């Protein structure tokens, strides 16, 4: 497959020590050579070398920048095409000028994710590995990056390919039965073989799906809402967890008027932490909008941190909030324990049932460690990740694996009911196709375009 030559800035925009303009395609080295002056022409240097020189505007012969240029020749590159990386100083004007010169020399501006898309289309990686690259870039904890790295390395791909090969072997055996229907013992042996192998495939798919809950949390983060009536310390809780003063803290009830959102790493669990306006009846128009947004955030939450005041008895507002969140994953936080106790802890336990309770004080910084332990235990059972386990974290993969499990289950049920073997074959082929979609073997061009459009420019 022959492509044109594309170019893009591969480092974040803004001032920095170094910036990189990347090219890939059949004319990548030629285009860079037209801008470069050094000891040797780039067309003459060895592959996988970095070369010192200067970039000049070929039209005016004006010196533009001092650079180091990495030359990587196909096929031992990220895209399996020639790749050039121009390392320059990280000024906004400089890097944009070099990008403009590469465009003037005939390169095309890359679309988001187009470098990785070419790596996929040229067979260097499959679709699940490409998605692993995107997850690795976006990972916010060590655990999340390890899951993404495993996917990038192809651990999921190897398992999926093995399952697809097992299905092909079953289908080959089924074909024997279809070709020789006059032999009853062949049909009986085929059905027995099909059931045994299909059960193994189903078990493998279910084992993958068992990791999906943890994997999805690691990839997307837990949507965690801090809720409670006004002035119980929700914003102080947010500031302590993220170790920054992002939320305004005062003694005035209703200070938080909108939903504040931050990511925080809690014992390897990424929390998408949301501080809400206190949920109460109010005539203040701005605060009322904040309360409505709080209710909306609450309805979408994976975890709720319900904050109560150690210094105040339970009120009708507390009971109303408790009724709203009873069916959710809730941790009750009794805050302000540095003050005099006026809260009936036993009444809290009766109100919240089996929900875990943590006592904290944002003034003395106590109880935060215990809260983090509770969160980790609730969603990871306090277990360390198994390094040998293949985790599934991508929502697309999870959906396809669920469909594949249903399809293989239909095949098993049909075989057990002595449905004609050629009818069972239909469900087996469907399972094979669904698994193929995970790694991009059976996938539409529109889906490929949609997936890679989510990548950043330059990747």
Give the bridge partners for 264, in sequence order.
271
**Spatial separation of the C-alpha atoms in residues 98 and 18, rounded to whole Å:** 13
Instruction: Name the class of domain 129-211+391-452.
Output: mainly alpha
Give the bridge partners for 70, in sequence order.
50, 85
Q: Residue 125 half-sphere exposure, CB side, CA atoms within 13 Å?
A: 23
Residue 24: per-residue pLDDT? 96
| pLDDT by 10s per residue, the chain, length 459 | 678 999 999 998 778 889 999 999 999 999 999 999 999 999 999 999 999 999 999 999 999 999 999 999 999 999 999 999 999 998 889 999 999 999 999 999 999 889 989 998 898 988 888 888 777 776 666 667 777 777 777 888 889 999 999 998 888 877 766 655 555 555 666 788 889 999 999 999 998 888 776 777 776 777 788 888 877 887 787 777 776 444 333 333 333 334 456 777 777 677 877 765 544 454 455 445 555 666 666 767 788 889 999 999 998 888 888 887 876 688 999 999 999 999 999 999 989 988 899 999 888 888 888 888 888 777 765 444 444 456 677 778 889 999 999 999 999 999 899 888 878 889 999 999 999 998 888 766 776 776 677 666 666
Q: What are the CA-CA distances from residue 117 to residues 76, 79, 337, 443 (Å)?
A: 16, 8, 54, 14
CATH topology of domain 6-110: Gyrase A; domain 2 (3.30.1360)
Place of tokens 């306006």: 277
The model carries a pTM of: 0.62
Query: HEC string of 312-354?
Result: CCCCHHHHHHHHHHCCCCEEEEEECCCCCCCCCHHHHHHHHCC
Max alpha carbon distance in the chain (Å)?
Answer: 87
Strand pairing class (83-90; 222-227)? unpaired
Residue 30: per-residue pLDDT? 96
Question: Same CATH topology for 129-211+391-452 and 219-380?
Answer: no
Question: 382-416 burial, b for 16+ CB within 10 Å, e for fewer?
Answer: eeebeeeebbbbbeebbebbebbbbbbbbbbebbe
Residue 395: per-residue pLDDT? 79
CATH topology of domain 219-380: Rossmann fold (3.40.50)
Question: 208-217 burial, b for 16+ CB within 10 Å, e for fewer?
Answer: bbebbebbbb
Question: In the chain, what are the domain boundaries?
Answer: 6-110, 129-211+391-452, 219-380
Strand pairing class (36-38; 49-57)? antiparallel
């Amino acid at each position: 497959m022959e492509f044109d030559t594309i170019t893009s800035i591969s480092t974040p925009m803004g001032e920095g020590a170094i910036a990189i303009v990347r090219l890939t395609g059949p004319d990548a080295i030629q285009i860079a050579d037209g801008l470069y002056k050094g000891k040797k022409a780039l067309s003459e240097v060895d592959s996988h070398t970095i070369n010192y020189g200067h970039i000049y505007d070929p039209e005016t012969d004006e010196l533009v920048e001092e650079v180091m240029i990495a030359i990587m020749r196909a096929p031992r590159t990220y895209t399996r095409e020639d790749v050039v990386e121009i390392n320059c100083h990280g000024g906004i004007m400089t890097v944009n000028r070099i990008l403009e010169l590469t465009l003037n020399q005939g390169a095309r501006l890359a679309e988001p994710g187009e470098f990785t898309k070419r790596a996929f289309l040229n067979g260097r990686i499959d679709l699940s590995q490409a998605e692993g690259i995107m997850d690795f870039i976006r990972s916010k904890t060590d655990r999340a990056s390890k899951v993404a790295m495993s996917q990038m390395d192809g651990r999921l791909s190897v398992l999926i390919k093995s399952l697809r090969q097992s299905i092909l072997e079953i289908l080959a055996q089924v074909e024997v039965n279809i070709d020789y229907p006059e032999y009853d013992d062949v049909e009986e042996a085929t059905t027995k073989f099909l059931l045994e192998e299909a059960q193994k495939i189903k078990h493998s798919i279910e084992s993958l799906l068992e990791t999906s809950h943890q994997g999805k949390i690691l990839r997307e983060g837990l949507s965690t809402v801090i809720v409670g009536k006004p002035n119980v310390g929700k914003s102080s809780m947010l500031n302590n967890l993220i170790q920054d003063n992002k939320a305004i803290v005062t003694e005035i009830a209703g200070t938080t008027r909108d939903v504040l959102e931050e990511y925080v790493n809690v014992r390897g669990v990424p929390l998408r932490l949301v501080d809400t306006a206190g949920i109460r009846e109010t005539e203040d128009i701005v605060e009322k909008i904040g309360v409505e947004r709080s209710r909306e955030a609450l309805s979408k939450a994976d975890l709720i941190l319900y904050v109560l005041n150690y210094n105040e008895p339970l009120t009708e507002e507390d009971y109303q909030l408790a009724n709203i969140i009873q069916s959710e994953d809730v941790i009750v936080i009794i805050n302000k324990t540095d003050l005099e106790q006026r809260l009936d802890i036993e009444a809290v336990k009766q109100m919240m049932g089996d929900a875990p309770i943590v006592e904290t004080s944002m003034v003395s910084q106590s109880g935060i460690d215990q809260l983090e332990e509770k969160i980790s235990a609730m969603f990871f059972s306090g277990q360390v990740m198994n390094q040998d386990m293949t985790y599934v974290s991508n929502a697309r993969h999870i959906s396809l694996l669920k469909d594949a499990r249903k399809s293989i289950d239909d095949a098993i049920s049909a075989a057990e009911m002595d449905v004609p073997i050629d009818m069972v074959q239909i469900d087996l082929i469907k399972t094979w196709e669904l698994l193929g979609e995970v790694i991009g073997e059976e996938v539409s061009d529109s889906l490929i375009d949609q997936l890679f459009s989510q990548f950043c420019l330059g990747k």
